[in-house]
Amino acid sequence: MSKPELFQRDREWHPRALTPDYKTSVSRSPNYPLLSLQSSDSEITGPTFGHGDIDPIDNDLLRNYAKTGDPIGERIIVHGRVLDENDRPVRNTLVEVWHANAGGRYRHKKDTYLAPIDPNFGGCGRTLTDDEGYYIFRTVKPGAYPWRNWVNNWRPAHIHFSVFGTAFAQRLITQMYFEGDPLIPHCPILKAIPDARAIERLIAPLDLNATIPLDSIAYKFDIVLRGQCSTFFENRPEGN
């Protein structure tokens, strides 16, 4: 194999498949245990992307769908680094985000929440990390919104993140929350994560150092992907 294997994914750190308080998981979670595999090329390779795939404006949600002006809402910067478990930057990797508008409404044909669509806000962005693993988006702060789970569930404000890494088995989708949001302790989706330390990892702190005075407030969100093993020892050589 030409690429390193990955550290085992810590399944006790992630949410389990079956988390009954998040009701939809009940019929969408496998009953049987996952079949655990040692990595092969099928897992340690993965798609890569380049600057020809995306446009510079794609990470600016204030402008990438603007028709008649800027979208309504609190102007924010969300930035951070994509690292691996060895604390090394994950370079040139695709980061995609999507979120509701400032009123908590998604631009999606299936979203019927009564808050209005913002004509100047699409709600998605994408970018590639730089050589330090750094990324940045500019957008408006999403609003909280209600969802059907219990009668009165509200999602805390959040931004969905999709990250690739270099191996298909590093593929990760998660959600970023905002420091100080009082809905965080009430969210069944967030509480699907069993470890309070893991939940904290999804809450982005206010980052005053990165705010732009008189313009935008900033939050910092670092993302960690599975680490790559540094050793290539074969415990049984090919052909044996």
Q: Which of 158, 177, 219, 226 is catalytic?
A: 158
| 106 classed as catalytic | yes
- Report the relative pairing of strands 217-220 and 75-84 from DSSP bridges: parallel
Shortest Cβ 185–other proteins spacing (Å): 16
Shortest Cβ 82–other proteins spacing (Å): 9
3-state secondary structure of 229: coil
By CB under 8 A, residue 115 contacts other proteins: no
By CB under 8 A, residue 74 contacts other proteins: no
As a whole number of angstroms, the distance between CA 130 and CA 225 comes to: 16
| 158 classed as catalytic | yes
By CB under 8 A, residue 53 contacts other proteins: yes
Shortest Cβ 216–other proteins spacing (Å): 21
State which H helix or E strand residue 224 sits in.
Answer: strand 223-225
3-state secondary structure of 199: helix
CB 99 within 8 A of CB 128: no
Shortest Cβ 78–other proteins spacing (Å): 14
Q: Reduce the secondary structure of 113-145 to three states and give it as a string.
A: CCCCCCCCCCCEEEEECCCCCEEEEEEECCCCE
| 197 classed as catalytic | no
Q: Which of 99, 155, 177, 226 is catalytic?
A: 155
Q: Would you give the distance in Å from CA 179 to the centre of its chain?
A: 16
By CB under 8 A, residue 109 contacts other proteins: yes
Which of 4, 21, 45, 206 forms a contact with other proteins (CB under 8 A)? 45
Q: Which of 65, 145, 177, 219 is catalytic?
A: 145
By CB under 8 A, residue 198 contacts other proteins: yes
Which of 123, 133, 143, 156 forms a contact with other proteins (CB under 8 A)? 123
Shortest Cβ 152–other proteins spacing (Å): 19
Q: Reduce the secondary structure of 165-198 to three states and give it as a string.
A: CCCHHHCEEEEEEECCCCCHHHCCCHHHCCCHHH
Q: Quick one: 45 or 211, whose CB is closer to other proteins?
A: 45
Question: Segment near other proteins (CB under 8 A), from 44-52, 70-78, 136-144, 205-213?
Answer: 44-52
Footprint of other proteins on 149-188 (CB under 8 A) = 160, 162, 168-169, 171-175
CB under 8 A, 24+ apart: contacts of 230-239: 230/4, 230/86, 232/4
Q: Is the dihedral of CA 105, 106, 109, 110 positive or negative?
A: negative
**Residues designated as active site:** 106, 145, 155, 158, 160
